[in-house]
Amino acid sequence: MAETDTALGYEQARDELIEVVRRLEAGGTSLEESLALWERGEELAKVCRHWLEGARARLDSALAARESAERAAEGSDDQA
């Protein structure tokens, strides 16, 4: 990923990716321009994937912590 892409937030990358796809679907661009758009779209998709994977990891961690706390609470209830 290019250094400037890593600074993009998820929403920015997603919105730009939507625009790239719209332009590709509309057609009317030269082969060279289409290839450049495709490459940009690939980079933007990587940025989005990076953000989504990070969000998934945080969610998984939060769920695991909650489950652990619930098990600990159940264990202390059983001892009472």
What is the domain-level CATH number for residue 69?
1.10.287
Residue 1 domain-assigned? no
**Count of structural domains within the chain:** 1
Amino acid at 22: R
Residue 71 domain-assigned? yes
* Nearest CA-CA partner of 10 in 58, 57, 42, 44: 44
- Domain with 43, as residue range(s), is 7-79
Residue-level pLDDT at 74: 86
Residue-level pLDDT at 7: 86
Tokens of 40: 């940009």
Residue 74 domain-assigned? yes
Residue 2 domain-assigned? no
- pLDDT (tens, 9 = 90+) of the chain, 80 residues, equals 555 566 899 999 999 999 999 999 999 999 999 999 999 999 999 999 999 999 999 999 999 999 999 899 888 776 65
Q: For residue 47, how far is the Cα from the chain centroid?
A: 6
Cβ atoms of 47 and 20 within 8 Å: the answer is: no
Residue-level pLDDT at 6: 61
Contacts of residue 47, defined as CB under 8 A and 6 or more positions apart, other chains included, come to 1, 5, 6, 8, 10, 13
